[in-house]
Amino acid sequence: MKRCPKCNRAYATDTQKFCTHDGGLLFMVDESLTETVQFDSAKVRDKVSHPTTRDLGEPNSAAVDPEATVISSPAAQSAPPPRARDTGNLEPPQQTQYYGAPPSTASSVSPSAPAMVSAPPPSAPAPPQPAVPSAPLTETPPAQAPVTPPPATPSGPIAPAAAQAAAASAQPSQPLAAAPKKKSKLPLILGLVAIVLVLFVGAAVAAAYFFVIRPRQLAQVEKPTVTTEPATAPGLPTNTATPAEVSQPANEPPPYNPPADAVQFTNSQDALSGRLAENFVAFSFYYPNRWVKVPSSENFVTVERRLPPDFTQENFGIAPWYAPGDTTTFDDSFFKTLVEKDDAGFSRKFPEYRKVSEGPTKVGTYDAYEFRFEGMSRGTDKGDLTLWGREIFFPPRAGEKTGVKFLILTTSLAPELKSIDDVGVKGELPMILESFRFGK
């Protein structure tokens, strides 16, 4: 029978050389070693004076002291031939069994390969054999005296923890290093406070810029050319000139440079009939080419920006107004009478109508007089719509009795318009107001 020294598996085939489980080299097993051998404790004085393992060799008893823990032998002594290693039975070892390893040489023993041996039976006690200590044996010079082991130390392998504890106790005690001085947290706290203070100041400066400085800068931007008196229309410059002064040729604006998508309209007497032809006034302006012309019997021209199919976004018309034959002064009081007449007509025409403001204004370089209004149109296919309107009166030109007026109507369908102040300032109407010119 063969046995693996690593996993202690037994194999009945004598021709097998290696363990099929871990690849260990198999050794022959003496079947007589499987028998249990009991010690007679009455005949054993202590663990050092009597052997506790089977002597695998036949060392010279005169050269080996069984009482010594370090065994030395003469240099000329030759090592006995090694015997086959006995790995013991697979059964659990008894309390009287110990494990060791056969010596590889005459002067050193390796504890890594255990071997199970037993003492002779009580009926036939064996002669004392030199004990093989389980601790490693080291070779010493022949002249050195053997060292007697401590009587309280049992024979057997020394646990690693006990060896480490013994080594630690043998070392001289070292003075403990002084604990590092605890650093103060005051610099860290001061740094955090400084960072928070800087962030707070930066946020305050940014808030002051966006909520105070920037709105003032935007408020100082120049308004468009169409303006009114601040008392009636806030944000519009005050006009002190009288409407009669617009007829002077010195107030003529410079030529207008139209954009690429602009279409010019020039009023022509040949295209008019009836009262419009009799009170013809020459003028021209540009409007976006996406606007449409709306036929009208009361206006010289009407153009409109629509949301399909026919919803009004911005509407612009120019119509004549007529003065009594004996009128010679066209001042603010005269235009107030025209405003009162049209204001009454709009209040009957537009639901929820109200007049917003009234007063002098300017269109380009021309002085004029206007009033603004708003109303509501509810229940349309686009929902409830807000109406914003402006009517601007221009006095007659020199030598004429007929003037013209602008009628501007817008709705909340124009996305650029949010209030009456946006009419003529935002959207597409500013092109018409800026390009308007009286003809000669």
> In this prediction, what percent of the chain has a pLDDT beyond 70?
57
The CATH number of residue 315's host domain is 3.40.1000.10
What mean pLDDT is predicted for residues 82-92?
56
Highest mean pLDDT among 12-21, 91-100, 188-197: 188-197
pLDDT at 101: 44
Measured between its terminal Cα atoms, the distance across the chain in Å is 137
Q: Are residues 119 and 246 in the same domain?
A: no
Is residue 253 domain-resident? yes
> Is the omega angle on the peptide bond into residue 309 within 30 degrees of 0, that is, cis?
yes
**Domain termination residue (choose one: 148, 177, 200):** 148
Lowest mean pLDDT among 79-88, 112-121, 300-309, 320-329: 112-121
Confidence of residue 353 (pLDDT cuts 50, 70, 90): very high
pLDDT at 328: 75
Task: Tell me: pLDDT of 70 over 80.
Answer: no
Spatial CA neighbour of 14 closest among 1, 25, 30, 32? 1
pLDDT at 72: 53
Q: Are residues 258 and 138 in the same domain?
A: no
pLDDT at 188: 87
**Domain termination residue (choose one: 98, 121, 148):** 148
What mean pLDDT is predicted for residues 121-143?
46
Is residue 57 domain-resident? yes
Q: What is the rounded average pLDDT for all residues in the chain?
A: 73
pLDDT at 159: 46
Q: Are residues 233 and 140 in the same domain?
A: no
Lowest mean pLDDT among 11-25, 65-79, 260-274, 412-426: 65-79
Give CA 169 to chain center in angstroms: 57
Is residue 248 domain-resident? yes
pLDDT at 129: 53
Spatial CA neighbour of 431 closest among 299, 261, 298? 261
Q: Are residues 140 and 239 in the same domain?
A: no
pLDDT at 105: 42
**Domain termination residue (choose one: 148, 182, 202):** 148
397: exposed, middle or buried (Cβ count in 10 Å: 0-12, 13-18, 19+): buried
Is residue 12 domain-resident? no
Q: Are residues 264 and 375 in the same domain?
A: yes
pLDDT at 45: 55
Q: Are residues 248 and 144 in the same domain?
A: no
Task: Give the Cα separation of 325 and 244 in Å (integer).
Answer: 16
pLDDT at 22: 85
Per-residue pLDDT of 373-430, as tens digits, reads: 999 999 999 999 999 999 999 998 877 778 899 999 999 999 999 999 999 999 999 9
pLDDT at 171: 54
pLDDT at 390: 97
Is residue 254 domain-resident? yes
Task: Tell me: pLDDT of 288 over 90.
Answer: yes
Domain count, the chain: 2
Task: Tell me: pLDDT of 213 over 90.
Answer: no
Q: Are residues 253 and 114 in the same domain?
A: no
pLDDT at 12: 82
Is residue 77 domain-resident? yes
Task: Tell me: pLDDT of 175 over 90.
Answer: no
Q: Are residues 241 and 137 in the same domain?
A: no
Is residue 281 domain-resident? yes
Residue ranges making up the domain that contains 425: 228-438
Task: Tell me: pLDDT of 329 over 70.
Answer: yes
pLDDT at 87: 57
| Contact criterion met (CB below 8 Å) for 417 and 388 | yes
Is residue 171 domain-resident? no
Q: Are residues 234 and 123 in the same domain?
A: no
pLDDT at 164: 52
pLDDT at 248: 43
367: exposed, middle or buried (Cβ count in 10 Å: 0-12, 13-18, 19+): buried
What mean pLDDT is predicted for residues 50-78?
54
Confidence of residue 108 (pLDDT cuts 50, 70, 90): very low
Confidence of residue 186 (pLDDT cuts 50, 70, 90): confident
| Contact criterion met (CB below 8 Å) for 21 and 7 | yes
